[in-house]
């Protein structure tokens, strides 16, 4: 049976790029989405050319109950998960004193809760398999206490994701499970200019995908609990 990869938030953007490439690498893909049904359907149409058993599933990953239902369906269908990419995590560019309670909770829950719930739901399967990969998507500066004027909650959440990555890797290594993190520089095009980056451009989806492919390869066997920045030397706050 082909390996099964679950990519959260894979109807659009980086998640879609990861799903597309993994499909060409022989993975059966679970396309997760929350509200982007039309985009997910379009992605699946492309993926099924390489992996006909790929399917889509909708869930609000901030809800533990929804996550459990989602992974129960995945388990019933495939009986295994070889790779989980925790890609979901909303971003907010707004002064902290203008950030509402609902916005703050959304940033924290979409970044931390989603990763925690999905990882916990899949780990029992990976322990039985004695193998598995979890890749968490962070952001440049995740491994330091980074205070940013208009993205404080976001960096707080990504700091927590870094700690979670380390803890899970340490606990699960004995079970043959690898947990790593990829932290790109901004993938957005509306906040920074190319000249803001030391190498003259922001990160691209393909930059992240190439690192992910390396981390899940046999060549990266002894890399566990790592955070790899895909940032071209960019440091938040430096000009």
Cα distances (angstroms) measured from residue 224 to each of 39, 119, 125, 192, 208: 33, 15, 19, 32, 17
Identify whether 154 is a catalytic site residue. Answer: yes
Q: How far is 109 from 42, CA to CA, in rounded Å? A: 27
CB 82, CB 6: distance < 8 Å: no
Using alpha carbons only, give the angle 213, 215, 221 rounded to the nearest 5 degrees.
130
CB 89, CB 135: distance < 8 Å: no
**Set 154, 162, 221, 222: catalytic member:** 154
Q: How far is 99 from 103, CA to CA, in rounded Å? A: 6
Q: Tokens 């398999």 appear where?
A: 129
Q: How far is 68 from 57, CA to CA, in rounded Å? A: 12
Q: How far is 121 from 231, CA to CA, in rounded Å? A: 31
Q: In what order do the strands lie in the sheet with 28-33?
A: 55-58, 28-33, 4-7, 83-86, 132-137, 177-184, 227-230
Catalytic residues: 154
């Amino acid at each position: 049976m082909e390996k099964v990869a679950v990519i959260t938030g894979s109807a659009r953007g980086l998640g879609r790029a990861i799903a597309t490439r993994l499909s060409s690498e022989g993975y059966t893909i679970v396309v997760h989405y929350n509200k982007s049904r039309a985009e997910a359907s379009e992605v699946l149409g492309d993926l099924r050319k390489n992996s006909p058993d790929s399917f889509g599933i909708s869930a609000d990953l901030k809800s533990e109950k929804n996550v459990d239902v989602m992974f129960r369906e995945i388990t019933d269908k495939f009986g295994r998960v070889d790779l989980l990419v925790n890609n979901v995590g909303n971003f907010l560019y707004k002064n902290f004193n203008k950030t509402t309670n609902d916005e703050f909770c959304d940033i924290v829950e979409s970044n931390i809760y989603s990763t925690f719930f999905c990882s916990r739901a899949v780990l029992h399967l990976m322990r039985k398999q004695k193998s598995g990969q979890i890749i968490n998507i962070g952001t440049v500066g995740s491994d330091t206490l980074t205070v940013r004027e208009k993205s404080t909650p976001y960096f707080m959440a990504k700091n927590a994701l870094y700690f979670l990555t380390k803890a899970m890797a340490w606990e699960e290594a004995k079970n043959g499970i690898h947990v790593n993190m990829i932290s790109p520089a901004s993938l957005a095009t509306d906040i920074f200019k190319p000249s803001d980056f030391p190498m003259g451009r922001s990160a691209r989806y393909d930059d992240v995908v190439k690192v992910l492919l390396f981390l899940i390869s046999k060549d990266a066997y002894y890399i566990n609990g790592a955070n790899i920045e895909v940032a071209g030397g960019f440091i938040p706050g430096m000009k």
